[in-house]
Amino acid sequence: MKPTDKKSYFFVLICVFLLSLTGPALSQQSAPVQHEEKSRVQKWQEDIDEMASELPKRHKNLFFQLTKSTFKQEIQNLKKDLPDLSDEEIIWRLSCIVASAGDSHTSLRYQTKIAFPFTLYWFQKGIYAINTVPEYKHILNRRLVKINNKPIEKVVETLKKGISHENEAQIKSSAPYFIAMAEYLYGAHVIEEKDKANFTFEMEKGKPFDVHMEAISLKTKPEWIVSNENEENLPLYRQNRDKPYSFTYLKNEKTIYVLYNSCRMMKGKLFKDFVMEVFEQVDNNPVEQFVVDLRNNGGGNSMIFYPMLKELKEREKLNQKDNLFVIVGRRTFSSAILNALQMKNQTNATLIGEPTGGKPNHFGEIKYFQLSNSRLHISYSTKYFSFSQQDTDSIYPDITVEISIEDYLSKKDPVLEKILKR
């Protein structure tokens, strides 16, 4: 054999040897991996197990009201029923389980894809349509009394099970929103078809009339009948809704009105600078009454309010029962609750309006986790805040004033009017 032939021969031997070692492995790597697609039920089972495992671990104290045995039983019942449930029914059942904890900061965050084209509000005498599209203009400012022949009171009682809440004020705030969510109503068995329902409203003299309505996609931009572009004609609490804070000096009434919509810093104006502007008006004008309106405030950072609180505590003339007022309501929640309580306990302010949507002592400082398959978010509380010796379900005002549909339509604010009359 020639030297070159020997080299070739050994080269071939080495290649064969290497292939014998790596060949099967290479073959396995190159073969496509076969994954069996999970069924819808399997995906939901995984999400339910994930929720059942993660929520108790992450929450500050999930079982402060709900028992572990009840929680586990509801999870088991839901998993057993899965094959017979639609996605909407499963989401509804999950919402009910999370809401049963009794913590308004802990909830299943579900964004419906379709909704009925109206805006509702719960006034003194019931739930009214305050906006809609031209097709249904005859329901505008009418009271809703039934959905698919079910009395609205029973509908609300059903929806309460899936709404995380701690008091009735929160239900007044939230129920009108959920009534418009078509898939939510369907999951709760309020309506039989996912995108259609029959709504019964009342005429001015109490005569009922039915409206068969179809839900619309939330991706569309409906042509609403009522526009709030001209804010000048609206009462002060309905103006500047896009600003965390604003104020007005009412010259004839010698009153400073501060609208504190959110416990967040305004872009371009620190709250302490805003407070300086407010009290510059106080120092340069006759001021006999000072009003802080928290009725639209859903919370944020409670510490932001401190400069206002500090200044009011030091103003002896203003810090009197009939001079200093705090307006609260069903949307006063979370950090705004603390600010209302600070005003109640550290100043001589009179609280006026409606009971607050949140509790003085409550769980909060929320975080989120996401379910792996459905991608649903669940919020949960990481701390417990105790601000009051009395563990009431709400902060109840010293003077209760509710807004009627007549007040709303005539663009009046009976709460501020009550203050100014004093």
One-letter amino acid at 144 equals L
Residue for token digits 């609300």? 156
Tell me, yes or no, whether 193 lies in a domain.
Answer: no
Tokens of 155: 């509908």
Using the predicted structure, report yes or no on whether residue 352 has a pLDDT greater than 70: yes
Tell me, yes or no, whether 281 lies in a domain.
Answer: yes
Q: What is the mean pLDDT of residues 104-115?
A: 93
Distance, CA of 256 to CA of 290 (rounded, Å)? 5
Domain that holds residue 344: 231-358+394-421
Name which of 1-10, 26-35, 204-213, 377-386 the model is least confident about.
1-10
Q: What is the mean pLDDT of residues 161-171?
A: 96
Q: Which residues partner with 193 through β-bridges?
A: 196
* Burial classification of residue 341, based on how many CB atoms lie within 10 Å of its CB (0-12 exposed, 13-18 middle, 19 or more buried): buried
Q: Give percent of the chain with pLDDT exceeding 70.
A: 91
List pLDDT tens digits, range 80-103: 999 999 999 999 999 999 999 999
Distance, CA of 84 to CA of 82 (rounded, Å)? 5
pLDDT band for position 110 (50/70/90)? confident
List pLDDT tens digits, range 395-406: 999 999 999 999
Q: What is the mean pLDDT of residues 116-133?
A: 97
Using the predicted structure, report yes or no on whether residue 350 has a pLDDT greater than 60: yes
> Which of 4-8, 231-235, 402-406: highest mean pLDDT?
402-406
Distance, CA of 385 to CA of 288 (rounded, Å)? 35
CATH number of the domain where residue 283 is located: 3.90.226.10
List pLDDT tens digits, range 354-376: 999 989 999 999 999 999 999 99
Q: What is the mean pLDDT of residues 345-352?
A: 98
Tell me, yes or no, whether 55 lies in a domain.
Answer: no
Q: What is the mean pLDDT of residues 374-394?
A: 93
Q: What is the mean pLDDT of residues 193-198?
A: 96
The pLDDT assigned to 34 comes to 55
Residue 401 main-chain phi, psi, to 5 deg: -135, 120
Tell me, yes or no, whether 293 lies in a domain.
Answer: yes
Tell me, yes or no, whether 43 lies in a domain.
Answer: no
Averaged pLDDT score across all residues of the chain: 91
- More confident position, 232 or 184: 184
The pLDDT assigned to 387 comes to 84
Tell me, yes or no, whether 322 lies in a domain.
Answer: yes
pLDDT band for position 55 (50/70/90)? very high
Tell me, yes or no, whether 121 lies in a domain.
Answer: no
The pLDDT assigned to 86 comes to 97
The pLDDT assigned to 6 comes to 39
DSSP-derived secondary structure for 348-373? -PEEEES--SS-SSEEEEEEEEE-TT
Tell me, yes or no, whether 292 lies in a domain.
Answer: yes
Distances (CA, A) of 344 to 18, 261, 329, 359, 410: 83, 18, 14, 14, 31
Q: Which residues partner with 107 through β-bridges?
A: 379
The pLDDT assigned to 221 comes to 87
Using the predicted structure, report yes or no on whether residue 420 has a pLDDT greater than 70: yes
The pLDDT assigned to 10 comes to 36
The pLDDT assigned to 9 comes to 37
The pLDDT assigned to 18 comes to 34
Total structural domains within the chain: 1
Consecutive H or E run containing 371 = none
Distance, CA of 239 to CA of 246 (rounded, Å)? 9
Q: What is the mean pLDDT of residues 119-124?
A: 97
List pLDDT tens digits, range 278-320: 999 999 999 999 999 999 999 999 999 999 999 999 999 999 9
List pLDDT tens digits, range 11-33: 333 333 333 333 433 334 445 55
Using the predicted structure, report yes or no on whether residue 216 has a pLDDT greater than 70: yes
Distances (CA, A) of 91 to 150, 182, 184, 317: 22, 13, 8, 54
Q: Give percent of the chain with pLDDT exceeding 90.
A: 85
